[in-house]
Every structure is written in structure tokens, then in C-alpha cells.
Amino acid sequence: MWDFLYLCGALEKSMKEYRFRISGVHYAANPEAETLGLLDTEEMHVRTRELLRKIDRERPLVSLFAEPSNLFNPDCIMAFSKGNRIGRVADECVSEVKSLLAQSEDPILFARVEDVTIKQHGHLTIVVEAEELTDILPLQSSAIEWGMWLKDDMMRLSPHKQVLAAKEAYYILKKHLMTNIDEADIVDLKIYLGLWLEGSCHDLSRESREARSQFIAQLEKAQDKDVRLLSEQLKQQRTSICGRMALTERASEWWTERLESEEMKRLWTQWWLVNEGQLWGGLRDIDEKLRQLPGQLYNDIGKRDVVLSRLYYMNTPRKALDAILTLLMLRELTCRQLDIEMKPMIESDYETCMPESGKFSMKDLESSFLKFPTKIALGMFGGVSTLLAWHPEWQKSAPKIEEQILAQQKEQQDRQEAKQDKMMETVEKAAERPATVISHVENYQPQIQNQNIDLPAPPFGTQETKRLDDE
């Protein structure tokens, strides 16, 4: 019946076939995994495969319609069948599906199932027959205003080495290798695609998404089968770049690495000095900025994977993303210092917790320097001197603080030299001891003498035997 109605509708007008991928079947089969952020289990995988097998057997009519109320992704297109959600339109297909919905008489599209991939996080391939598109509409996320976060005065971590390598690879691919894909050297393609994939595996920015889709489209047009196969790695990255499980695993790696980097510590120290050591006041300033994030993102600030996922689906420009992530890391470090949970706050929270006097003194600053190894302390002292050169109190206290650091350095050096002198004295005393003549070499036990001076026993060889005989 459905096939008959489907064909009747197609005969009325000249139609074109569009193929789209439906992902998120795992969360349709296990809704609690998405809502509660649960880790995958074998039981969940069984339910996912059962749903995929059922769809493969029945090949039901699939309905597509927008879900603008989706907090994670305002451009989400849901896939339903027989009243139940079976997934969502994959990220790379959303723009085209939204454009088809916009030109349709009804706010819904119907599709047939063409192929089913049955695995833990499987997907469907569906076919929609519709009038040929005349225009591709911009996504809702592309209309978000990011102006505040694109300003040059926002604090940002410098790009990671892998990101810089990926930047070079991107332009070589775009300007040289991809311009004529059929004449490109496949070895060079593999090298630079590998560099770009490695550097972009943590990149949730709009630019990275667009580059990935662009490279896939160009590789799929190649005449050489081996070149076309290179697009598979890009597709796998596109599929997993913001999956909850993959995102959580990556965040535990690169987020922690960046959070605990020396550069992040320097940024936090600089921020601390600018705020005159008032952590609660500084936290309030950070939150004032974060509350201006679109989509009430501040309310999810305690759920790192949710925040990162939403920033991805909001099509965040890289420059804005870098500023937001740096500010989130500053906030997390501040919460650690205050020994509080990383969660949204209201005004009364600051007023209740903020001490009457939150300002730091030069004495506090001096004691902070002395907690670090002297080499690091001297480096930080130079940076602080540059930042606070204008400050009268710093001008008075700086010589004394530097003197304290240098005194601590000299004390450490003196201790080290005394330790070395003591060791040399022990060795010299051992060397001055009268040698013991042993009549029978086989009775010689060198480890006894060596134990007296805490040195390892040397191997007993022919040279030692000759020396003992001579003595």
C-alpha cells in the first residue's frame, strides 16, 4: 500500500532521488543512554542490533521532520517510523534535508529504506524522492552571533603542535592536491590526509566540519578506486567526532592535557594577578561572560561532554571556540582552587561564599613564588614583573621577592654542593686506606670493603688479581 501511494506521488511531478544516512539508532534503541549519559553495555548493543534487524526485515516507510526544540542540536532532523523514533539525519546531510523540507508543501518528508548496516552503532541509508533543489538554505546554527567571542582581547591558548601541522596539511590539500584529484600523488594524499586527521581529531569547529565534508566530496569524485577509499577514514571521523562515548574518551585525554599544561598555568596566574587574587570576584566575571553563550549553554556548564557536543552542533567558529574553551578551563582551575563543584551559579552563591577581604598581599605573592622550584619561580617572577611594572606596591616589593627567590636558589645550591663534598670526602678516605695483602686470591671478598663506603662491588677479574699479587 505504502509503495503504491509513494509511486503515485512521484508520478505527479518530475522527481529526483536523494540518499541520506540515518544515524543515532543506538540512542533510539536505548533512550536512557542519551538522557542519562550512560556508558555502552553489551545489553544496549543487543537492543541496537535487534532494532536494525527489524528495520532491515520490514523496510518500513520513514518520516523525517525537524526538531527545533532539541537543546543539543537546533538543526536536528528526526527519523520516525510507526510512531517511534529510529534515529536522526546524519550531520553531513542536515543542510540538504532542511532545504528539501523548506520547499515541501508539508513540514515532513517520506523515505524508503535502501540499506541497513547492522553493528553496535549501525545506521540506515534512506532514499527520498522530491523535487530538485533550487537552493541550499543556511543552517539555523549558522545564524548564531559569535561577535563577542571573536574579539582579539579574549584569552586563548595557543594552537597545539598537531593543530599547526593540520593547518599546513589543509592548505596543501586544498590548494595543490585536491584541485585536480586524478593527477594527485596518492602517497602525498595519504601523508597530508593523515596529518589533517591527526590534528583535527579534537577539533569541533565549523572550519573543521566544512573541510571534512569538502575533502570527502572531492575524494569520492576521483576515478582511481584507491583514492576514493581514502574518504573512508574521513567518514569515520565525521561519524564519531561528536558521538557521546568518543567525545568523553577524547575529552579525558586532550582536555586534561591542555588544562594541566604549563601555558594554561601561566594564563591562570596572569588572570589571578589581574583580579588581584580575588578568586570569587574573578569567578563571577568569568560567569558573566559564559552566561552570554547562545542557547543557555551556561546551564550545562557542569557537563563537559554536553557543552562540547552543543558547541559542535552550533557550528562554532574556531576563533570563538578557542576563546570559549580557554574560559571554561580558567573556570575549572578556579573551582579547583576554591574546592567547589564545576556547576552553574546564581548571584547569591557568590555573595554567600565570597570572603570579606579577598585581596592578596605582596606577602601572599612572595610565599606563592617560594612554593615553586627556583627555575620556574624566576621565570614567573619575570612575567609578573612585566605585568605589574606600573603597580606601586609591586615596585616596592619586587626587589625583596627576587632576593628571597635567589636566596632559596643559593640555599638549594649550597645543600647540593655540601652533599657532593661529603660524597667526595668518603671516596677519598676509602682511597687512603692501607691496602690489605691477601695471600690466597680465592679468599678475596671485595664486597666487604665496598660495603663500608656504600659502593657497589666491582666484578673480580684478572687485572684486579695482578694488582693484588703485586701488592
pLDDT tens figures, 100-113: 988 888 889 999 99
* Residue 90 dihedral angles phi and psi, to the nearest 5°: -60, 150
* Residue 134 dihedral angles phi and psi, to the nearest 5°: -100, -20
Q: Which three cell numbers stand for residue 124?
A: 540506515
pLDDT for residue 454: 46
pLDDT for residue 458: 46
**∠254-255-256 over CA atoms, to 5°?**
90
Output b/e per residue, 140-164; b: 16+ Cβ within 10 A. bbeebebeebeeeebebbeebebbe
pLDDT tens-digit series, residues 163-202: 888 889 999 999 889 888 999 999 999 999 999 998 888 8
pLDDT for residue 357: 47
Q: Which of 31-35, 77-81, 102-106 bottoms out in mean pLDDT, i.e. has the lowest? A: 31-35
- On the CB side of 325, CA atoms within 13 Å amount to 28
Look over the chain and give the mean of its residue pLDDT values, rounded to a whole number: 80
pLDDT tens-digit series, residues 217-251: 899 999 999 999 999 888 888 877 765 555 666 66
Read off the pLDDT band of 457 (50, 70, 90): very low
Give how far Cα 46 sits from Cα of 57, 82, 90, 205, Å: 16, 21, 22, 34
Question: What number is the average pLDDT over the span 409-432?
Answer: 78
**Secondary structure of 367-433 as H, E, C letters:** HHHHCCCHHHHHHHHHHHHHHCCCCHHHHHHHHHHHHHHHHHHHHHHHHHHHHHHHHHHHHHHHHHC
pLDDT tens-digit series, residues 270-328: 888 888 778 888 899 999 999 999 888 899 898 888 888 888 888 899 999 999 999 99
Read off the pLDDT band of 73 (50, 70, 90): confident
pLDDT for residue 451: 43
Q: Which of 5-14, 280-289, 448-457 bottoms out in mean pLDDT, i.e. has the lowest? A: 448-457
Q: What is the CA radius of gyration of the chain?
A: 33
Helix (H) or strand (E) holding 59: none
Q: Within 10 A of 104 (CB to CB), how many other CB atoms are there?
A: 15
Length of the chain in terms of residues written:
471
% the chain with pLDDT above 70: 77
pLDDT for residue 242: 63
**∠122-40-24 over CA atoms, to 5°?**
35
Among 65-69, 292-296, 423-427, the range of highest mean pLDDT: 292-296
pLDDT for residue 37: 65
Distance CA 81, CA 65 (A): 12
- Residue 358 burial (C-beta neighbours within 10 Å; 0-12, 13-18, 19+): middle
Residue that the C-alpha cell 594577578 belongs to: 273
By C-alpha distance, which of 170, 175, 177 is closest to 205? 170
Q: Is the pLDDT of residue 439 over 60?
A: no
pLDDT for residue 141: 63
pLDDT for residue 432: 67
* Residue 133 dihedral angles phi and psi, to the nearest 5°: -70, 135
Q: Collapse the DSSP code of 460 into the 3-class scheme (helix H, G, I; strand E, B; otherwise coil) and give the result.
A: coil
Q: Which of 42-46, 173-177, 381-385 bottoms out in mean pLDDT, i.e. has the lowest? A: 381-385
Read off the pLDDT band of 385 (50, 70, 90): confident
Among 13-27, 179-193, 301-315, 355-369, the range of highest mean pLDDT: 179-193
- On the CB side of 83, CA atoms within 13 Å amount to 0
Helix (H) or strand (E) holding 264: helix 262-274
Distance CA 310, CA 292 (A): 15
Q: Is the pLDDT of residue 155 over 70?
A: yes
* Residue 120 dihedral angles phi and psi, to the nearest 5°: -55, -50
DSSP-derived secondary structure letter, 302: T
Distance CA 218, CA 239 (A): 18
Q: Is the pLDDT of residue 452 over 70?
A: no
- Helices and strands: H and E segment counts in the chain: 22, 6
Among 58-67, 298-307, 391-400, 428-437, the range of highest mean pLDDT: 58-67
Contact 391, 397 (CB under 8 A): no
pTM: 0.64
